[in-house]
Structure 1
Amino acid sequence: MDLLVERVDVWAAAIEDRPGGLAEVLGVLRDAGANLQFIISRRTPEAPGKGVVFLAPLQNDREVRAASQVGFNVTPSLHSVRVMGTDHPGVIAELTQKLAAGGINLRGVSAAVMGTQFVAYIGMDTLDDTVRAIGILQQA
């Protein structure tokens, strides 16, 4: 399987749970020139009135400065790998089985298909697990 496997920093910020809360922070990043490839946003039931947004990548100082102005930080407890390749039925099942066989416990997985290609973001709890996962996936 021909895969592109890369470690990525995921950035996170709290947002207001109201119309425009997400749009405001994304607008600041757009204005700084960020070309985001991954965004997940959700409400935070443990903090009524708040939400959280996770995104990647931020690629230069201008984008990082803009992100920090609206509350983004690299998530120190979420270590992520981006995997891209040709889609086929069961590809994510195959990859997660290889990681399980390697003793990697996953914190989360997000995946999508566009045309013939897939992209997956796989989260782990430790940097060591991330390094091991990259090795396993590069051999897939």
Structure 2
Amino acid sequence: MWRFFILLFPLFISCGKLQGEFGFKNSLDEGYRTKMERLEFSVDDEINWVYKFKSSPSGKVNLGIVILKRELSWVDVLAYPDYIDETKDVIYGTIKDFEPGNYKIVITQRKEEEVKVIDEIEFYLYSDDEEEESN
């Protein structure tokens, strides 16, 4: 009997945790790409991103979406609320009109006074001027 509980314990722990996967596409892509080795995009492109949760929650979950830029430390560039529920398990965003540099998208869960990071991903925006300078 104990073996049964020991085998199911990791399943119970992971059930309560929100998890998912980021995907990105630009105007030339037909669909979102998820398994990209290097996330580098031109500042001239409009980049659409998506975060697909592995499972839908049983009720509404309030989220915070934050885009940060690396300066001397990470600085907020954009922050806005969103949510997921039984019928909505995907969140969308757009990256456009940003300066070149290193950025990070952070998805958080907001519960009363507590904020918990669900996932984050870093990416780099380059300009054509940078490419010409390095040649």
- Same fold flag (TM > 0.5): no
TM-score normalised to structure 2 length: 0.35
- With structure 1 as the length reference, what TM-score do the two structures score? 0.34
Between Structure 1 and Structure 2, the one with more strand by share is 2
Tell which has more relative contact order, 1 or 2 (C-alpha 8 A, sep 6+).
1
Structure (1 or 2) with the greater helix fraction: 1
Larger CA Rg, structure 1 vs 2:
2
